[in-house]
Structure formats: C-alpha cells, structure tokens
C-alpha cells in the first residue's frame, strides 16, 4: 500500500486544500491529512476543531483520513508508515518555503519523499490567512471553504 501524508495547519481547511488532497487521493492508496498543532502560529481554531472541520470537509473522499500531530513531520510519517509527503504549491513563495522544509526533512529522514502538486489556477491566490481575514470583517467566504468551515468562521467572528 502506498500511503502519503498531506501536512498542514489547516486553519481552516479551504477549497484549495481540498483540491490538492483530492488529487493526491487519486495517486495514492491512502492519504492521511496530517493536521499540525502549530502552536507558534496561534491558530484561530483549536487542533480538535481543525481536525473535526477537515474530517467533515473530506468525509466523501473514501481513501482519506484526518489525523492530528505534534512534533516533527518525519516522525509522524514513520509512525503512520507513510513514505511520501504531498505538498500543494500556489506560487514561487510557496516553493521557496517548501523547498527549505523538504531539504530539512530529507536530512532528518531520507526515506520520506516529497511530491509537489501545483494548485489549479482558481485556487492559486487562496490561503487560510486570507479566508480568516475576510471572515474577520464579516465578508463572504462561502466560495472559498466548505459549508462546515463557513459556519464555524461565522460563529468565531459573530
């Protein structure tokens, strides 16, 4: 079985994330959406909330499961018996950051391969931080996120 991880903070999960995860699910037998605790990022949603939202958003993708993690990605990948990390790329700035992370992960565990999937043009501008900002000003984000996330954002910023 070829198992991959798609790691991220997912604060919150967006249509862009879902697109990358769904595309990865067509390539691998199983995709584990690895929701990072990321306390240094001061997430809007708790780890449990982010996991629950991702599970709801991805419930119709049969070979995808969502798991929380803390610590190093390479350790979590070993624990999950995943051999590939799938990362989405939107722009050259994503590449620079992901390139650095991939090099570090390779030094920590050369057995963990990283594969990049380019975002579709319709999602190249989309990020969780943009979604949070729009929602914080009570702007509509329903075209950028699943219904469960839209509802959760409305409650957070009510």
Rounded-to-integer distance, Cα 10 and Cα 113, Å:
21
**Longest CA pairwise span in the chain (Å):** 46
Active site residues: 17, 41, 90, 128
Rounded-to-integer distance, Cα 76 and Cα 3, Å:
13
Provide the Cα torsion 26, 77, 37, 8; round to 10°. -30
For 122, counting Cβ atoms within 10 Å of its Cβ (0-12 exposed, 13-18 middle, 19+ buried), the class is exposed
- Report the first-to-last Cα separation within the chain, whole angstroms: 45
Peptide bond into 48 cis (omega under 30): no
Q: What is the DSSP letter of 122?
A: G
């Amino acid at each position: 079985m070829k198992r991959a991880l798609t790691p991220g903070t997912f604060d919150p999960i967006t249509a862009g994330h879902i697109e990358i995860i769904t595309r990865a699910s067509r390539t691998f037998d199983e995709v584990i959406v690895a929701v990072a605790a990321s306390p240094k990022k001061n997430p809007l949603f708790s780890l449990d909330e982010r996991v629950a939202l991702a599970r709801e958003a991805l419930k119709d993708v049969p070979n995808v499961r969502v798991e929380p993690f803390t610590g190093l990605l390479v350790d979590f990948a070993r624990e999950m018996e995943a051999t590939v990390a799938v990362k989405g790329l939107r722009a050259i700035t994503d590449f620079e950051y992901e390139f650095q992370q991939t090099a570090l992960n390779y030094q920590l565990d050369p057995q963990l391969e990283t594969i990049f999937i380019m975002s579709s043009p319709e999602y190249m501008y989309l990020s969780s931080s943009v979604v949070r900002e729009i929602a914080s000003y009570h702007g509509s984000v329903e075209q950028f996120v699943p219904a469960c996330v839209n509802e959760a954002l409305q409650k957070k910023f009510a």
